[in-house]
Structure 1
Amino acid sequence: MTHPLTLSLLCAGLLTSLALPVSAQQKLLPAQSELAFTAKQMGVPISGHFKKFDAQLNFDPARLASSQVAFSVDMGSATLGAKELDSELPSATWFNVPKFPLARFSSSSIKALGAGKFDLTGQLTIKGQVQNVQVPLTMVQSGALTVVSGTLPIKRLAFKIGDGEWADTSMVADEVRVSFKLALSGVGKL
């Protein structure tokens, strides 16, 4: 007689092996990808980017209901390109990297809009704060490469980014525009 734990492990292994072919093929190509942000300080745009981020994909254009996207960002990799500003970003006032090293997005649904356009809905977690977001994106394929691009406006104060004196939106605007261009391999034909 097979022990229930052994049977459970075998079933889990079988399910994992069935799911692996799609997700194992799909991956983010970080060297060909970009994740940037733009905010306004005293009305003047300031731009930066994240150097480290990753995605876990199980995206099938023919089966959007079962497709999933998870994205993580190393908040300590943020840069505005100026040493004095970059040294402030990891602080508790801004990203609080020691306590919250990663920002995460997890999809709950993907909707096709036609012509390579999609709406990705899910939860965005930054600095321990969770918000439901809708991410409009465009996917373009060239051979085996799929490029996903879009812009997501967020309200920084909803994520407690810029606490204390920096919560004053006359100094730093509440809206931050996060733009992305992600190169992916292994995505099926759109």
Structure 2
Amino acid sequence: MKRLSFALAAALLMAQAAVSHAQSVPGAKDVSRVSGGTYKADPNHTQVLWSVDHMGFSTLHGMFGQITGALTLDPKNPSAAKLTIEAPMKGLAVTSDKFATHVSGNEFLDVAKFPAARFTSTSVDVSGETAKIAGDLTLHGVTKPVTLDATFHGAGVNPMNKAETVGFSATAKLKRSDFGLGAFAPVVSDEVELEIVAAFEK
């Protein structure tokens, strides 16, 4: 009985904490808060994370930041949304300077020659709070179709700058070799998993 009472109390505390958190943050998962117009990517709170398998020993992660771009939304016609994103390759963050130099060099990204990656949407298929965003990704001088599986995260007014803000997360998979980046495959996995967190401000 005591164990049951403790479990119930713990569950109630967790529920209260969740409610308190929801009431204290400015963003909410409420699509009615989204107004139409063009939003700019918030470079400080938008990240593109990637991961590859390294020799079967570990999964390596890296991140691109300093993202720019725009998202045009019409709440009455969400499938008409347009998205452009540009990620500067100099924004790469990894575990060490040596690794960063290796990935940025001419065996992989060749940042000096190809300073940015760009994604431009071609269609948006919306279903509730999720969407499939098809588009063209230009990376390492090669353009290929890529589809993002996106989820609405929240919307509201940022109290720091008073900007209307919307946030999303997304995942995608691509093959390095499709973009001329297949060095050391399959020792380093050809498949790359992407995880994107994005905030847009109006």
> Do residues 74 (structure 1) and 88 (structure 2) align?
yes
Counterpart residue number, 1:18: none
Structure 2 matches for 1:22-101, cutoff 5 A? 22-23=37-38, 26-43=39-56, 44-101=58-115
Give the letter aligned to residue 133 of structure 1. Answer: V
Alignment-derived partner of residue 181 in structure 2: 161
CA distance in 1, matches of 2:145, 2:75: 23
Find the aligned partners of 2:82 and 2:70 in 1 and give their Cα distance: 8
| 1:185 and 2:201 correspond | yes
Matched, 1:148 2:164: no
CA distance in 2 between partners of 1:65 and 1:183 (Å): 19
Shift of 1:68: 1.1
Q: Please list the CA deviations of residues 117-144 of structure 1 after superposition, one character each: whole Å capped at 9, or x if unmatched.
A: 1110110110111111111100122423
Q: What is the DSSP-based 3-state SS (H/G/I as helix, E as strand, rest coil) of the residue aligned with 1:61?
A: coil
> Which letter maps to 2:46?
S
SS for the counterpart of 1:71 is strand
Match of 1:111 in 2: 125
Q: CA 1:138–1:131 in structure 2 vs 1: closer, same or farther (change >3 Å)? A: same
Query: Contact conserved, 1:93 with 1:162, CA < 8 A, in 2?
Result: no
- Residue 172 of structure 1 aligns with which residue? 188
Name segments (4+ residues, structure 1) moved above 6 Å.
Answer: none
Deviation at 1:65, TM superposition (A): 4.9
TM-score, structure 1 normalization: 0.77
**How far apart, in 2, do the equivalents of 1:55 and 1:64 lie?**
18
Unaligned runs of 5+ in 1: 1-20
Distance 2:170 2:64 in 1: 16
Residue 80 of structure 1 deviates from its aligned partner by 1.4
- Per-residue deviation, residues 22-47 of structure 1 (Å, max 9, x unmatched): 22xx1222222222111111121001
Structure 2 unpaired stretches of 5+: 1-35, 158-164
- Which residue identity is paired with 1:22? G
TM-score (normalised: structure 2)? 0.73
Q: Which amino acid aligns with 1:154?
A: L
Aligned residues: 159
Contact 2:61 2:94 in 1 (8 A): yes
